[in-house]
Amino acid sequence: MKCRPLAVAGIAVLCSGLLHAAEPRASRLPNVIVFLTDDLGYNDTGCYGALPCHIRTPNIDRLAKEGVRFTDGHAASSVCTPSRYSLLTGQYAFRNPRGSSILPGDAPLSIKPGSYTLPAMFRSCGYVTGFVGKWHLGLGAGGQSIAWNGQLKPGPEEIGFDETFYFPATGDRVPTVFVRNHRVVNLDPKDPITISYKHRIGNEPTGITDPDLATVLRGLQGHGHLDAITNGVTRIGFMTGGTAALWKDEEMSDTLTSEAIGFIERHKGSPFFLYFATHGIHEPRVPAPRFRGKSGAGVYGDFTEEVDDALGRVAAAVDRLRLANDTLIVFSSDNGGCSWMGYDYGARASLNGHKVNGVLRGEKGSIWEGGTREPFIVRWPGHVPAGRVSSALVSQTDLLASLARLIGAQLPADAAPDSMDVLDALLGKSRAGRHELVEHQWGVTRKNCALRVDQWKWIDGQLYDLADDLSEKHDVARDQPERAKAMSARLAELYNAVKTRP
C-alpha cells in the first residue's frame, strides 16, 4: 500500500506511517468519525421530516446545519450484516456469501483477516483506529467453536482496528455481553459462557433491573426470539453463564457513548479513525429511564431521541477538545426504518402517526427505497459548506475509495472493488455523485438486487422514475421498454462482474 500527498483546502498533507502526535495542527490529517445508527428511518429525524410532536433530534439537525445533508444517500443493503460488510470492505456484499445475509451470533468472521478494509487503510496511513458498538460480522475462524471464554480471534482487530469495545451480534441476539480487544468484559472464569443457536441449553432469567420494564418488555414467541432471557428480555438463540458480564439494555447507549468519547480523548493529539455503530434503534428498544415517554412516538421515538443524544455527546466532545475543524463526521444508518416490532411494548409502542420512512415505499429488509435510502450527513467545519442539501447519489460503499483520496491513500487494484470516489460530493464541492448503484436486499441472488441509473430504478421487472415517483407507485416499464431492457441487462452485467470500481 502506498500513500501520496494530497492538498485539502489548501493544506498539503502526507499519508505515511511516520506521523507524530506533536505534528503541527496545520498539517495534520483530518480525524474521521463514522457514526452509524441501526434501523434509523429516512423520516426519523427533524432535518429529514420528523415532526417535533413525534420526535425531536436537535443534535442530528445541528449536524445537518453545519454540514451537507444528502437526500439520495444509501446504505449498502437493507439489512445489517451485508450493509456493514460493504461499508468496511467497499465490496457489494452479494459477492461474498459469508457477508451477504444476517448472521447468527455464533457465525465466523465474514471478512478475511488481513483484507484491505476501511480501518486497515487508515491504519496504514498513520491513524489510530477504533471501533465501538455493534459488530455483527462474525467472530473466529470457521469450522470451530467461538472461544467466548478465551481470546476472540479473528475479529475486528484482525481487519484493521487498534482498539475495540463492542457487542458481537445484535441487541436481541446472544451473547449479551461486551467485548474489549479480544476478551469478554467482566467475565468470571467460574461462570463460563455457553452459546447455541440450535439447541436449548438453558432458560434462566437474570432478573429485571428496572420494575417498569416488566410491562414494557414482554418478549413474544413466534417473532424469531427464542428462549434466552437476559435483563428480562427474550433473545434469539440460547445462552448460559457469563452472569457478571451481561449488559443492561437501558445502559447500553450510555456505555457505548462513553467508550467512544474515551477513544477520542485518548487520541486527540494524533489522527484517529473511529467507527461508532450504535445499538439504537434496533430491538429490543430499551431506552434509559430519562428518555422514556419523552417523545411523541412511543418507545420508538424515545429510543431515537436517545440516539440523537449519543451523537450530541460525541460531537460535543469533539468541540470541547477543539477538534471540530480537524474532524470529519459521517452520520448515517445501516438500513431503513422498521415500524414493526418483535416485542410487545404495550401502548407505548404507538407511533402516533409518525411514518418512519416518510413517503418512501418499504422498510428494513426490502429492496424498495425505504430499505436502503438513509439519513446521510457529512460535517467538517471549514472544509464542508454549512447547511447544504445535496441530491447526489452516494452510498456507504463509497466511503473507502472517497476517504482514501481524502488522506492520500492509493488503493491496491483489487481493493474496494465496488467503492466509487465521490469525495467531491461528500465535501459539498460537487452535486455529482454516482451514476449507477446496485441496491442490495440480502443474499447472493440477483433477484434481491435493484439497479439505480441516475433517477431511474429497475427492480425485478419493474421500472420507476424516482424524480417524479419517489414512492415507487407507478411502474413505467411498459412505457419505456428499451430503457427497461437496457437496465435489466446492465444489472446482470454489474452483478456478474468482479468489480465495478474503475
Residues 465 and 419 in one domain: no
Domain final residue pick, 384, 401, 435: 435
**In this predicted structure, what is the pLDDT of residue 237?**
86
Cα separation, 202 vs 193, in Å, equals 11
> Between 4 and 24, whose confidence is greater?
4
Statement: residue 331 has pLDDT above 60: yes
Structural domain of residue 473, as residue ranges?
445-502
Pinpoint the alpha helices (H) of 349-442: 369-372, 399-407, 423-426
Residue 301, number of CB atoms within 10 A of its CB: 30
Residue 7 lies in a domain: no
Statement: residue 497 has pLDDT above 50: yes
Domain final residue pick, 413, 435, 457: 435
Residues 332 and 451 in one domain: no
Residues 431 and 472 in one domain: no
Q: Are 492 and 446 in contact, with CB atoms under 8 Å apart?
A: yes
Cα separation, 291 vs 294, in Å, equals 5
Residue 11 lies in a domain: no
Cα separation, 31 vs 184, in Å, equals 28
Q: Please give the DSSP secondary-structure letter assigned to residue 30.
A: P
Cα separation, 113 vs 155, in Å, equals 8
> Average pLDDT, whole number, for the chain?
89
Residues 196 and 327 in one domain: yes
Residues 493 and 350 in one domain: no
Residues 473 and 361 in one domain: no
Residues 107 and 213 in one domain: yes
pLDDT tens digits along 378-387: 999 999 999 9
Statement: residue 8 has pLDDT above 90: no
pLDDT band at 210 (very low <50, low <70, confident <90, very high): very low
Q: Are 339 and 365 in contact, with CB atoms under 8 Å apart?
A: no
Domain final residue pick, 407, 435, 463: 435
Residue 17 lies in a domain: no
Q: Is 322 left (phi over 0), alpha (psi -120 to 50) or beta?
A: left
pLDDT band at 217 (very low <50, low <70, confident <90, very high): very low
The residues, ordered by sequence, that sit 6+ positions from 478 with a Cβ below 8 Å of its Cβ are: none
**In this predicted structure, what is the pLDDT of residue 211?**
39
Statement: residue 488 has pLDDT above 60: yes
**In this predicted structure, what is the pLDDT of residue 200?**
65
Residues 459 and 425 in one domain: no
What's 283's domain CATH number? 3.40.720.10
Number of separate domains in the chain: 2
Per residue, the 3-state secondary structure of 99-164, as one string, reads: HCCCCCCCCCCCCCCCCCCHHHHHHHCCCEEEEEEECCCCCCCCCCCCCCCCCCCCCHHHHCCCEE
**In this predicted structure, what is the pLDDT of residue 349?**
54
Residues 319 and 455 in one domain: no
pLDDT tens digits along 33-84: 999 999 999 999 999 999 999 999 999 999 999 999 999 999 999 999 999 9
Cell numbers 457489494 correspond to 92
Is there a cis peptide before residue 113, judged by omega within 30 degrees of 0? no
**In this predicted structure, what is the pLDDT of residue 28?**
76
Residues 242 and 293 in one domain: yes
Q: Are 477 and 464 in contact, with CB atoms under 8 Å apart?
A: no
- Long-range Cβ pairs for the range 3-10 (8 Å, 24+): 3/124, 3/125, 3/407, 3/408, 3/409, 3/410, 4/408, 4/409, 4/410, 5/408, 6/405, 6/406, 6/407, 6/408, 8/383, 8/406, 9/382, 9/383
Cα separation, 92 vs 87, in Å, equals 9
> Between 303 and 203, whose confidence is greater?
303
Residues 380 and 466 in one domain: no
Among 20-24, 447-451, 457-461, 465-469, which is the least confidently predicted range?
20-24
Cα separation, 66 vs 69, in Å, equals 9
Cα separation, 277 vs 206, in Å, equals 26
Statement: residue 201 has pLDDT above 80: no
Nearest to 42 by CA among 21, 57, 31: 57
Residue 227 lies in a domain: yes
Residue ranges of E strands in 10-71: 11-13, 31-37, 68-70
Helix and strand numbers (H, E) in the chain are 10, 26
Residues 264 and 328 in one domain: yes
pLDDT band at 341 (very low <50, low <70, confident <90, very high): low
**In this predicted structure, what is the pLDDT of residue 377?**
98
How large is the average pLDDT for residues 308-313? Answer: 98
Q: Are 343 and 290 in contact, with CB atoms under 8 Å apart?
A: no
Question: Which three three-digit cell numbers place residue 443?
Answer: 443474499
